[in-house]
Amino acid sequence: MVRWFFQQTHNNKFQLTDYLGKNMRKITQALSAVCLLFALNSSAVALASSPSPLNPGTNVAKLAEQAPIHWVSVAQIENSLAGRPPMAVGFDIDDTVLFSSPGFWRGKKTFSPESEDYLKNPVFWEKMNNGWDEFSIPKEVARQLIDMHVRRGDAIFFVTGRSPTKTETVSKTLADNFHIPATNMNPVIFAGDKPGQNTKSQWLQDKNIRIFYGDSDNDITAARDVGARGIRILRASNSTYKPLPQAGAFGEEVIVNSEY
């Protein structure tokens, strides 16, 4: 009996060894498949949980894809005027020399929160032209430009698309903020806004303005209409006046760092 038991055990051992030998490749392949699935699943989880990079980086080709803007500095403009006699120069007001969005924002909230109708409301313009510019912020680029033109002895005009009102304090606000001597300063011209018409062109011609600074397309085209030199000042990105214009779209000069 004992001999029979050991004989059976010996036979079973060889049968098991033979079975494992024949099926080892299948077992190995099955284990490999399980390991591969586990690895792929781990990678997928890692990718899903990993945040995308905040800075995707750049390369030389991307850096070269910049619009061919004619950038100029205030110093370069001054240098281009060297030797020329004093002349009449003009400035737009809103987003050119003043960041006046606070007043326009208040006007919208007060008179037409859901639309731009406040711009057609005479009451708004009475407020804006008679005190609300106290909340406007003078732009640094305007300080530099006006100082340069005052040193040259140029006559300084401000031509705005704002609607005219019976009274206005804008002229005094600008003269005070930019320290413009009375000999250089002229009262603000309120050209208004008329559909299909560039209301500034005629004023630039009447005042013989040779250089006109502005942030909008209309400012540049008004200057070109009368043969003046139109120079773009950048509109601040947080201006309430949207959409932002495409500076340099007409091939005009654009002042660097002029958004503030």
Catalytic positions, please?
92, 94
Is 22 annotated as contributing to ligand binding? no
Is 160 annotated as contributing to ligand binding? yes
Taken in order 88, 89, 93, 99, the sign of the CA dihedral is negative
- Rg over alpha carbons for the chain, rounded to the nearest Å, is 37
Distance, CA of 25 to CA of 54 (rounded, Å): 47
Distance, CA of 196 to CA of 80 (rounded, Å): 34
Is 242 annotated as contributing to ligand binding? no
Phi (first) and psi of residue 213, to 5 degrees? -100, 135
Distance, CA of 43 to CA of 46 (rounded, Å): 5
The amino acid present at 233, given as its one-letter code, is I
- For 192-211, letters b (16+ CB in 10 Å) and e give eeeeeebbbbebbeebebbb
Q: Running DSSP on this structure, what letter comes out for residue 168?
A: -
Is 176 annotated as contributing to ligand binding? no
Phi (first) and psi of residue 130, to 5 degrees? -135, 55
∠ Cα 122 123 124 (to 5°) = 90
Cβ-based neighbours of 155, under 8 Å, separated by 6 or more: 86, 87, 88, 89, 184, 186
Cβ-based neighbours of 17, under 8 Å, separated by 6 or more: none
Which residues line the annotated binding site for substrate?
Answer: 160-161, 200
Which residues line the annotated binding site for Mg(2+)?
Answer: 92, 94, 215
